[in-house]
Amino acid sequence: MSPPGAFTLPGRALDEEDAWVRALQAASDAEVLEATRAAVRAGRPGLAGRAVSLVLSDAAVAGDPELERAARAARLLLSRPVPPTIEEWDDLLADLGRRQHMARFKARHRAITRGESPDKPRTRPK
């Protein structure tokens, strides 16, 4: 890994990115912002978000579209999804039941149209 002042980005392995971000912690805000810009230009929003989160002042980020994009990526990486409500779970389970029912129906009727007997006949065994 090269020093962060060289602005060469690390490999895509997580441990390489972690070492690069740790090395950036000792850098000045200007160096961190330039490294963040390099990460954005390279199409690495996650790495840019991790780097821009090292800058403490929001004023340094404001006005620069690349840095604002990196700050949005950092917020996205740090945000947690809202757990579904009981109504949403109910809707998901009902939808799953409908899909399974339709899959059984289609399989049964496809077999009938091909002249095969369905997997589960509807008559009771004697």
Among 35-39, 54-58, 114-118, name the most confident range. Answer: 35-39
Q: Are residues 31 and 60 in the same domain?
A: yes
Instruction: Give the tens place of pLDDT for each residue, 62-72.
Output: 778 888 888 87
Reply yes or no on whether the pLDDT at 108 is more than 70: yes
Q: Are residues 22 and 67 in the same domain?
A: yes
**What is each CA distance from 121 to 11, 105, 125, in whole angstroms?**
59, 12, 9
**Percent of the residues in the chain that have a pLDDT greater than 70, as a whole number:** 80
CB 40 within 8 A of CB 48: yes
Q: How many CB atoms lie within 10 A of CB 10?
A: 20
Residue type (1 letter), 31: E
Whole domain around residue 111: which residue ranges?
Answer: 83-126
Window from 28-32, 94-98, 114-118 with minimum mean pLDDT: 114-118
Q: Are residues 106 and 72 in the same domain?
A: no
Quote the CA–CA distance of 88 and 93 in Å, as a whole number.
9
Contacts of 85 (CB under 8 A, 6+ apart): none
State how many domains the chain has. 2
Q: Are residues 17 and 39 in the same domain?
A: yes
Q: Are residues 70 and 17 in the same domain?
A: yes
Q: Are residues 53 and 90 in the same domain?
A: no
